[in-house]
Amino acid sequence: MTSAVTIPRHGGTGGRTAVAARARQVVKAYGSGETRVVALDHIDVDIARGQFTAIMGPSGSGKSTLMHCLAGLDTVTSGQIHLDETEITGLKDKKLTQLRRDRIGFIFQAFNLLPTLNALENITLPMDIAGRKPDKGWLDQVVETVGLAGRLKHRPNQLSGGQQQRVAVARALAARPEIIFGDEPTGNLDSRAGAEVLGFLRRSVDELGQTIVMVTHDPVAASYADRVLYLADGRIVDEMYQPTADQVLDRMKDFDARGRTS
């Protein structure tokens, strides 16, 4: 028995609820009969608005699957997922695409940018696709924040890995999504560049009130979060608030040991 349902500690902005996204009894299974593999096993989780949430767990624990389901990239077998007040489970592809476009930001581990577009075009791409004009002031602020002002006309192949990820962060922030999902956004970066990117994510939560969910297996990355969820075998097995890298590492070791003895 896990006590995964948490009461958010601080409210969101405006009239919105304090929960940016919630999952109820979410099951994701592949195959059927004997070959059935359960990736998510009746998961309940609330993602608090304005918080930085990290999802951790060993390989195959279902952490990426959970994020993909929350983000509307993947479908669930059963259960419900709400983004704010919108139930996204059961939405058709068209609505889902619109939702991802207008309300969600993404940062992937690698290959975040279109090689044919320059940094600025990549940043404004989701808004361009939606046919919206970017908010100039906000865009400047985001660009300023991630420190890309001088490199906006560069193509991705003219940028370093760290710079590319910062462009990706800027893209995720620029459209002011309700929630940003990161899939190991620093997985391909060295520790300095990684720290830079994580710093921006942290600041966007603190200064801009952004909601961020990030999958990672790096305790240091997780330590930037307000809250860490631990997944194992498709279930949330633990959580931790205001973690430090050491605490996270210890907890991981713990799970590892338990995993081995069980």
Q: Which stretch binds another protein (CB under 8 A): 1-9, 25-33, 68-76, 78-86?
A: 68-76
Interaction of residue 68 with another protein, rule CB under 8 A: yes
Interaction of residue 5 with another protein, rule CB under 8 A: no
Smallest separation, CB 257 to another protein (Å): 31
Please select the residue that binds another protein; options are 25, 98, 242, 244, rule is CB under 8 A. 98
Interaction of residue 37 with another protein, rule CB under 8 A: no
Interaction of residue 74 with another protein, rule CB under 8 A: yes
Binding mask 151-190 for another protein (x = CB under 8 A): --------------------x-------------------
Task: Identify which of 17, 39, 36, 6 has the alpha carbon closest to the alpha carbon of residue 235.
Answer: 39
Residues making up the chain, counted from first to last: 262
**193 or 252: CB nearest another protein:** 193
Smallest separation, CB 132 to another protein (Å): 10
Q: Which stretch binds another protein (CB under 8 A): 125-133, 136-144, 195-203, 231-239?
A: 125-133
